[in-house]
Structure 1
Amino acid sequence: MAKQSGDKPRKVVAANKKARHDYAIDDTFEAGLVLVGTEVKSLRMGRASLVDGFVDIDAGEAWLHGVHIPEYSQGSWTNHAARRKRKLLLNRVEIDKIERRVSEKGLTVIPLSLYFVDGRAKIEIGLAKGKKSWDKRHALAERQATRETEQEVGRRLKGIPD
C-alpha cells in the first residue's frame, strides 16, 4: 500500500482523472521521481500531463514513460526533453511486488497523480486492470443512481416536496 503522508499538505500538480474511469485500480504506491532542475521548475508552475504515462520495470528498476512535463520557459540550453523516461524511487520490496503482480495477473502500472510533499516531487502509481466498455457504463449508472438518492434524501430533510 502507499505510504500515507499523514497530515502533510499535498500540492497536486497533475491528476490522471481518466485513469479511474478507464481502469479498475487494484493497489497504489507512492514513489519519488528523479528529475532535473528545469523539470522541477516546470512542475512548480503547475504544468504536467499524466494521460499517456505508464510504468515499466526494467532490470530491477522502475521507469516512468510517456509523462509530459513541458520545457521550462526561462530555461536555456540546459532544458530537458519533454517526454523523456524518468526513474522512480521505490523500495526493492515494492518493485518486486509490482513486477510479480504485473507478470502473473496481467495488470498494468499507471500514474494517478503527481504532487509535492515537503518540497519533493512524488507520484502516486496504481496497479490497474483495464475496464471493458460495459464496466464503464455500469460504473456511470451506479454513480448517477447514488447521486440521485443523495439528492432525494437532501430534499426530504429540507422538507421540499417532490
Structure 2
Amino acid sequence: MSTKTKGNTKEKQSGTVVNNRRARRNYDVLDTVEAGLVLTGTEIKAIREGRVNLSDAYGKPEGGELWLVNMHIAQYSAGSRNNHEPTRPRKLLLHKDEIIRLSRQVSERGLTLVPMRLYIRRHRAKVELGVARGRKLYDKRRAMIEREREREAMQAVRR
C-alpha cells in the first residue's frame, strides 16, 4: 500500500506544466480549444520534468489533421539513444468537426493557432490552443497603457 493520500497524487498528476506568456502579449485571443497530443515515451517524461518551451510554437492544418510545429521538448535526461527529436511536429488530437472549423478559420480569416499552455490532466498531456489574430506594435503599446491605468486606479481606490 502506498502512503500517499489521494489529494497529493491528484495534485501531482494535473496542473499546468508551462504557460506561453508571449501569446497574450503578441496576439488577441478570440477563442480557446483543448487538444490532446501524440507523444513518445521520452517526450512525456521530459514534459513531466517541465522541460518544454512553447514560445515559438504554432498550430498548422495539413492533410485534414492539425499539427503543433516548433514546440521544443528537451531530450529526456535518462533517455538513451532512443530519445526523441526536440522540435519535431506533433499531431494534435481533436474531433473531426473541430479540426475542420479551425482549419477554415486559419485559412480563410487569416487567424493563427497559438498554444497558450501545456498541462497534464488524467495522465495525459493537453495543450490549450488559442485562435488568435496578431497584434501590431501600436496595439501592444495601447494595451500596456490601459493595464497601467487600471493598476493606478486600483491603487487609488485602495488608499
TM-score (norm 2): 0.90
Distance in 1 (alpha carbons) for counterparts of 2:105 and 2:31: 10
Residue 82 (structure 1) shift: 0.4
Instruction: Please give the secondary structure, in 2, of the residue aligned with 1:24.
Output: strand
1:102 CA displacement:
1.1
Other-structure match for 2:151: 147
Structure 2 partner of 1:77:
81
Identity of aligned residues (%): 49
Counterpart residue number, 1:117: 121
- Aligned-residue Cα RMSD (Å) equals 1.1
Matched, 1:100 2:100: no
- From 72, 95, 105, give the equivalent of 1:91: 95
- What residue is the counterpart of 2:70 in the other structure? 66
AA of the residue aligned to 2:112: T
Tell me the amino acid that sits aligned with residue 21 of structure 1. Answer: R
1:86-124 CA distance string (max 9 Å, x none): 000000111011011112210011111000011110000
Paired amino acid for 2:125: A
How big is the shift at 1:39? 0.5
Question: Which portions of structure 1, spanning 4 or more consecutive aligned residues, are displaced by more than 6 angstroms?
Answer: none
Number of aligned positions between the proteins = 148
Match of 2:57 in 1: 53
SS of match in other structure, 1:80: coil
Query: What amino acid sits opposite 1:63 in the alignment?
Result: W
The reply on whether 1:34 has 2:47 as its aligned counterpart is no
Note the residue ranges of structure 1 that are not aligned, 5 or more in a row.
Answer: 1-7, 156-162
Partner of 2:138: 134
Report the alpha carbon displacement of residue 62 of structure 1 after superposing the two structures with TM.
0.6
Equivalent AA in structure 2 for residue 65 of structure 1:
V
Scaled by the length of structure 1, what TM-score is found?
Answer: 0.89
Structure 2 residue runs without a partner (length 5+) = 1-9
